[in-house]
Structure formats: C-alpha cells, structure tokens
Amino acid sequence: RFPHGILIVNLAGSFLLGVTANQESDITFLLFGFCGALTTWSAFALDLFEERREVKLFAVNLFGNYLLGVFAALLGLWIGR
C-alpha cells in the first residue's frame, strides 16, 4: 500500500519548482505558490506517521520522496536554464 500518488505529486511539484526557479518573470512568485499548493507534504507526513511500524515501507517512502524530490528539482533547474 505504498502511496504512489503522493510521491508522484511531490515529484511533479519539485520538478516544476526547479524549472521555474531560474525564470525572471512577474509570474514566478505565482508559480512558486502553485508548486507549494500542488505538493502534498502534509499527506506525506501523515503517511509516514501511519507507516512508522512498517520500517521498510517507512524508509522507502521517506527516502524516495526526499531523494527523488531533490533529483526532480535539480532536473527541473537544469531544464529550466
């Protein structure tokens, strides 16, 4: 019962944030707000709390979201430059 949907949304938001980070535009602020609203970090935190007794699932979810999120943001930065 891995929360794939939350992971996908968080990665998409991280990627979009990376793409927009280098943009010099009046709408950059709005794009940052959109990316923040898009991601579901509160749902992610709740999932982690509920998975705290399932160590493997907890670890995969935690490190998957953070490591893949950083990778998605870096990829977005690279594409957005």
Categorize the per-residue pLDDT at 21 as very low, low, confident or very high, splitting at 50, 70 and 90.
confident
Q: Tell me what pLDDT residue 77 has.
A: 92
pLDDT tens-digit series, residues 36-73: 777 777 788 888 989 989 999 999 999 999 999 999 99
Residue type (1 letter), 70: V
Among candidate residues 81, 18, 69, 19, the one with its CA nearest the CA of residue 40? 69
Could you tell me the sign of the dihedral formed by the alpha carbons of 59, 60, 61, 67, in that order? positive
pTM for this one?
0.73
CA distance 78 to 21: 10
| Domain span including residue 8 | 4-80
Number of structural domains the chain divides into: 1
Q: Tell me what pLDDT residue 44 has.
A: 86
Among candidate residues 4, 70, 78, the one with its CA nearest the CA of residue 40? 4
If you average pLDDT over every residue of the chain, what do you get?
86
